[in-house]
Structures are given as C-alpha cells and as structure tokens.
Amino acid sequence: MTDDDSDHEQAFRRSAFTMLLRYHSLSGGSDDADRNSGLHASVHPAFASQLFAQFGVVCDAFANPINATHASFFSLFPDVDACFGSRGSFFAAGDALSSSEPIAAHVNPPFETQCIQRTATTLLTLLRNRDPGVPATFVMVVPNWTGDKIDAAFGSLRKAPECAVSMLVPSEEAAYVDGHLHRLACPFFKLDSKTLLIVLQNDTARKLFGASTPAVTPDPALGLSVVADGKRTRVDAAIAEWATGSATAFSGRRPRNEDGGQRKPPQPRA
C-alpha cells in the first residue's frame, strides 16, 4: 500500500466513523433504542428494483449512505453524507435539480407528521414547477396513519391530478429494513399498520411509465407486493420470512421485538 493509498484509507475511515456516529447518536445512541427506528427504516432493495422496472426510479428522496438503494440519493446531513454521494436535503431539491433533469424518486420520509406534511408540499411543488416536458415520478411509501394533519397531507396527494396510484398494502404484505442493517443479522421488521403507497407523475412520465407499461408478472414463490397501474407485483418473500423468524436459514440476532417481528408504528406527533 502506498502512502497515498494509506491517506485515502484513513480519510475514508474518518468520514465513515463521523457519518455512522451521527446517525447512531440521532436515535439516542442505545443499542435497543435505535433498532427498528422509523427515522432510518427503508424498503428492501428488491422493492427498489421493482420501482426501477415499473417507473424508472433511480433516486432515493430520503436515505443515508447506509441504506440508500440508488446511487443518487438525498439525505439529512449533507455535511457528513456528501462525500458518500448525497445530493443534500430533498427539501432543497428544487435547487439541486435543473428544470431539464428528469427525476424518478422513491420517497420514504421519516415517519413524523410535520416531515410528512412538508414532504407532500415539496412533491407537489416539484411536479408543478418543472418543465412539463421533462418526466417526473415520485413513489411515496409511508405508514397509513390517521389524524387531522396527516389526513390533510395524504389527502392533498391523493386528490392531486398528478396522483396515478393510491393504495393500501396490508401489514402482512409489507416489511421494512432497519436503518442499522450494517449491525444486524436480521434487519427486517414489520409494522402493525398498513402501508400507504402513492405514485405521483406528470403527464410526460405517465406516457413513459403509465398504463402502457405492463406490471411485472407475479411470481407465486415471492411473498410481498407493490402495485403499479392497479396491479400487484411481488417482491422478496425473504423479508416476510426473516421478519417473522420463519426462514429455515435464519441465524443471528432477531429484531428487538419477539412477537413475530411485529411492532407498533411510531405514533404521529402533532
């Protein structure tokens, strides 16, 4: 190893340590407190692959260097994430994206009411302020909470003319990946609540990825689903198996909860 290689290695280690410490401390720094953290939870890479195949999704609107499923991603802490590829905060995406740049993003914001409200406003603003001839697609995945503020946020998206798909995925058909997957042998967990999936597209994106694009053929060997054009497509059943502890090859630590992988969703804050 040359001196230059050694310097690069040390720089990487410092950057990685700083980034990991930031996200670890954000959840309180406890090994128990940060398991199944809604702030860091993401969807399985197999789901991301389905979104790419169906809608051309190539970007994560809310991710971090640990759980990003695409090379292009936005994150909470640009100061420690930029060296790993972060494009900054999604709430400033209007500044980061040129009006002529196509965008197709998976949107899985922190499960917090004010953040989801702001996300809804940001999505509609991005769709309506961009060149209508440039395709724009956002696939939002969040727990299906209720409450005046959260209902208003979801309602603004469901009623928007840009809404192409709005559906509920049963809790037994959806699972999330713990944000600390780099520390867990079994990073998958399930929520008791249903998952809300909303697809927002401008007219140009609908022409490219709309009804003319057939849904992926369901595979009976796979167990979880995502919907496009009103049809369900299947994603990795291993999530369900690991989340419930039923996988025959399961080994290592289970998620924090021992009740079949279920946990109550984080409660919305007013």
CA gap 110, 113 in Å, rounded: 9
CA gap 270, 118 in Å, rounded: 13
pLDDT above 50: residue 238: no
pTM of the model: 0.71
Q: Is residue 89 part of a domain?
A: yes
Query: Comparing C-alpha atoms, which of 179, 231, 188, 175 is closest to residue 38?
Result: 179
Q: Whole domain around residue 204: which residue ranges? A: 31-257
Helices and strands in the chain: count of H runs, count of E runs = 8, 11
CATH number at residue 97: 3.40.50
Q: Is residue 189 part of a domain?
A: yes
Q: Is residue 123 part of a domain?
A: yes
Q: Which residues contact 223 (CB under 8 A, 6 or more apart)?
A: 173, 234, 236, 237, 239, 240, 241
Q: Is residue 25 part of a domain?
A: no
Q: Is residue 243 part of a domain?
A: yes
For range 174-181, the mean pLDDT: 63
Q: Is residue 267 part of a domain?
A: no
- Is residue 193 within 8 A of residue 171, CB to CB? The reply is yes
Q: Is residue 40 part of a domain?
A: yes
Tell me which H or E stretch contains 29.
Answer: none
Over the stretch 113-139, which tens digit does the pLDDT of each residue have?
888 899 999 999 999 988 889 999 999
| Minimum mean pLDDT range among 31-35, 160-164, 265-269 | 265-269
Number of structural domains, the chain? 1
pLDDT above 60: residue 19: yes
Q: Is residue 4 part of a domain?
A: no
pLDDT above 70: residue 215: no
- Is residue 199 within 8 A of residue 135, CB to CB? The reply is no
pLDDT above 90: residue 263: no
